[in-house]
Chain A
């Protein structure tokens, strides 16, 4: 599978998706003007990935900030991994947050409520 590696900007996150090396990671800030345009490539990549996933998937979310439109796209990403879990594969969402950042921890917990995928919360 293709590797997606995008360097973050002041309104878009760093993206690293590399199946062979087992790296799935979003980090930084996400407040793009057009969320659909930015996230479509990521969603497309994940659609491919879930067809033939690795035995173990760890997806790192190391976001320091995301706007509400991005929050919807993040949910769309997470929902795609439900099928991988159902298929009997190991999936963990590693949700990183700063210790003094309750809102970010809370956001992760909200996703965990909605999505049938295991979450690990990790202090950055």
Chain B
């Protein structure tokens, strides 16, 4: 027992070291709600202010976080059908020349091909085409019953000027884990 708790302390320390050396300012795994979204964005805003980041960078980070978190709170599936809560993992890290917002959540396998295609397509577009696609989707799309407008990914790439980095890890025949990294350049 004693040894086990000592080991756990070591895990905590390693975790702390990993976080500080990678300048990870936020890690969370759990349910993502509107309340959580507001708290995390406010926390990150304060952090960026302390780091004296420019208003432009602050706003872009805020923007991307809202879209990523609301994506999870609206679209995440769960491992277990009985647990309808929308949960995921969120990380915010600061690199030498960029901030990274990393999110991960469970998604049903049958949604994966369309999402992949959509993300690859968005990544292939230049600024002008992204703006055209955004306008088209705004005109032709409608708010889904989950409350999304299908604009989040387009908007992130358009506002950050960086391509989305993503991966789908198949967990079983039903679901995959979707990991998304958005990058906001610091200058």
Cα(A11)–Cα(B38), bound, Å: 8
Asked whether B63 lies within 8 Å of A69 as measured between CB atoms, the reply is no
Asked whether B135 lies within 8 Å of A35 as measured between CB atoms, the reply is no
Cα(A11)–Cα(B139), bound, Å: 24
Size of A's binding interface in residues, CB under 8 A: 25
Cα(A35)–Cα(B159), bound, Å: 21
In the complex, chain B residues whose CB is within 8 Å of the CB of A11: 34, 38
Asked whether A68 lies within 8 Å of B155 as measured between CB atoms, the reply is yes
Asked whether A71 lies within 8 Å of B147 as measured between CB atoms, the reply is no
- B-side interface residues toward A, CB under 8 Å? 34, 37-38, 42, 54-56, 59-60, 62-63, 66-67, 70, 73, 131, 134-135, 138-139, 141-143, 147-149, 151-152, 154-155, 159
In the complex, chain B residues whose CB is within 8 Å of the CB of A101: 55-56, 59
Most buried by B among A31, A71, A113, A114: A31
B153: nearest chain-A partner, CB-CB:
A68
5 extra interface residue pairs, beta carbon distance < 8 Å, beyond A68-B152, A98-B55, A114-B138: A33-B70, A34-B147, A65-B59, A68-B151, A73-B143
Shortest distance in angstroms between B39's beta carbon and chain A's nearest beta carbon? Answer: 10
